[in-house]
Structure formats: structure tokens, C-alpha cells
Amino acid sequence: MFKRLSKTLAILSTVGVLAVGASFAQNETTPQPGQIGPGYGPMHRGSMGPGYKNKVDQQKVQAYCKEVQPLWQKTWQIKKELRELWSKNPPDWSAIEKKEEELIKLRLEIRKKAYEMGLPFGPKTSLRLRKICGW
């Protein structure tokens, strides 16, 4: 009785492991929507994600990139200055506050320019500047 039960459980568990393994390995090389991987996941609903080139005029994108590049470089400079301010002991809170406000204004200006140029952009979508501009 015990041998027969253990044999049955062993066979069932082996079949179960094989079935689960086959189902996970089925789409290993071709990710499907909803799976984790490049172009999928919670941020996949943005219009500047995979396939954005088909939806947006590339001349507008290039003009936008040229116009925004100095602002983008300035944001990186401000981020660097913020890291330096935070590393001081004790931190200069008023200087940090001014730099944070300046960074927020720059980000808003970049987003405003995208909206004015007619690029698809909203509160839940990202422009992914480094990807679309090639920086």
C-alpha cells in the first residue's frame, strides 16, 4: 500500500514538474505582452515606447532634441551640484532647496517644449530622451 502510494506521488510530481517547466519554457525567446522584459511591463503603455517611430514625425523629434539638448545638459549639471551639496557635512539646506527648485523648473520646461511641439507626452508617459535623441 505504502509503496504504491509513494510510486503514484512520485509519478504525479514528476509529471507536474515537467508540465510547469514546459509552460514556463514555452515563450522563452518570444516575450508576450504582460511579460517582464524590454518593452513590456508597467511602463509599456507610453506612446514613446516600442514603435514610437511609426507614430511621431521624426523631423519634429530631431528639432525637439536640438532645442532641448542644452536644457538636458543643464539638468545633469544641476544633479551633479546637488550630489556635491548633499555630500557636505552639514548640508546647506537653502542651497539644496534652490537647486531642487531649479531642477524642477528645467524638467517642466523640457516637458512644456514637448507639448508645444506636438510630441505625445503626458503625466504617465516618458519621453525617454536618451533613447529618442541618441544621447
1-11 tens-digit pLDDT: 778 878 887 88
Question: Global pTM?
Answer: 0.55
Q: Residue 41: pLDDT above 90?
A: no
Torsion of CA 50, 55, 59, 61, to 10 degrees: -50
Q: What is the spatial distance between Cα 110 and Cα 84, in angstroms, rounded to a whole number?
A: 24
Q: Which amino acid is residue 54, in one-letter code?
A: N
**pLDDT score recorded for residue 47:** 46
Q: Mean pLDDT over residues 97-112, rounded? A: 93
Q: What is the spatial distance between Cα 35 and Cα 29, in angstroms, rounded to a whole number?
A: 12
> Which region among 17-21, 47-51, 111-115 has the lowest average model confidence (pLDDT)?
47-51
> Which region among 55-64, 70-79, 105-114 has the lowest average model confidence (pLDDT)?
55-64
Q: Mean pLDDT over residues 119-132, rounded? A: 69
